[in-house]
Amino acid sequence: MAYILILMRYNASDHSHSRMKINIYLGELAAYHGEDFMNMTDAKATIGIIGGSGLYEFFEGDVNEISVETEYGHPSDKISVGQMFGKQISFVPRHGKKHSLPPHKIPYTANIAALHSLGVKQIISPCAVGSLKSEIEPGHFVICDQFVDRTYGRAQTFFDGPSVAHIETADPYCAELRRLAIDSASRLGLKAHPKGTVVVVQGPRFSSTAESLWFSRMGWDLVNMTQYPEVALAAELGICYLNISVVTDYDVGVYAKHGIAPVSIDQVMAIFKQSTEKLKTLISEIIQNVPSGCACECKQRAERAKIT
Ligand SMILES: [Zn+2]
């Protein structure tokens, strides 16, 4: 496996995010061959994947690994850039390759800004979730259409003044990418729920039984720790954003309400492993069929949001 290391600095101070400054650190370059130099400065991607728990690498074979520095700091880890089906894809592991970042310490703004700096227009964002309903079973996928934010203290906007924007989040997820994901899952014969509401908790602790019962009584479907503010930040930059929730277990309220016995950790791990392979197949199917530009409202919505 060949790796090319690139260090880049992204300056997004004007919030148009249209210009990129690239600083190549000569000390880092010394170990590499001259012919790789052009590849480094040409690093671009139109599709971004933010890998959740269990998905720390996506590409097999040769990839470029780049370090991007943004005005919001460094992303969770180096970003891998490679090709699939003739499309330029970038991948960042949300918790870092070694899963060293808990949900409340993930640099959400830097991750989204870094992908945007590479030219990413569409983000595919899988994440592990707990189910709040007995009919949403471990091993199923859910293509979420709504979130409920229960987090606090996280940087949640690129518009922190003096530029101000109020992004609409009535329908936070890209309608076209959601349709594509639902169709792709159907073609592959995967059990995928076509919509769902995920309540995003601060973590890192799991919910108490009382909290979990409350969430399910509210009619919410899933519980997770990372969907917010990621989805809102992508929306602010006009990036189409798709969530694929991977159900790994029932949340504690389902056990209490339905008398379903908790599964063993071995079963959870087995489901998780099977789900990861299915998830990669689903993402590949989506990438193969995704159009270069979505006919959706995401970009116009970001333009409408700007006040100053
Ligand atoms: Zn869109």
144 CA → ligand 1 middle, Å: 14
Confidence of residue 51 (pLDDT cuts 50, 70, 90): very high
Instruction: Establish whether 149 is a catalytic residue.
Output: no
**Residue 249 · residue 140 · CB < 8 Å:** no
Q: What is the mean pLDDT of residues 115-122?
A: 96
The CATH number linked to 102 is 3.40.50.1580
Least confident segment among 30-34, 172-176, 204-208, 282-286: 30-34
259 CA → ligand 1 middle, Å: 40
Q: Mean pLDDT over all residues of the chain?
A: 86
- Residue 208 is part of which domain span? 5-305
CB half-sphere exposure, 224, CA atoms < 13 A: 32
pLDDT of residue 10: 52
Say how many domains are in the chain.
1
Q: What is the mean pLDDT of residues 248-274?
A: 80
pLDDT of residue 194: 98
Check whether 11 has a pLDDT greater than 70. Answer: no
Check whether 41 has a pLDDT greater than 50. Answer: no
177 CA → ligand 1 middle, Å: 7
pLDDT of residue 21: 37
Instruction: Establish whether 249 is a catalytic residue.
Output: yes
204 CA → ligand 1 middle, Å: 30
pLDDT in tens, 269-308: 788 788 999 999 999 999 999 998 788 999 999 999 999 8
pLDDT of residue 262: 67
Q: pTM to 2 decimals? A: 0.87
158 CA → ligand 1 middle, Å: 19
- Cα gap 103→95, rounded to integer Å: 7
Of these residues, 14, 149, 251, 266, which one is catalytic? 251
Of these residues, 77, 149, 221, 249, which one is catalytic? 249
Q: In this structure, are strands 122-131 and 79-84 parallel, antiparallel, or unpaired?
A: unpaired
Q: How far is CA 301 from CA 152, 187, 287, in A?
A: 25, 31, 24
180 CA → ligand 1 middle, Å: 11
**Residue 123 · residue 115 · CB < 8 Å:** yes
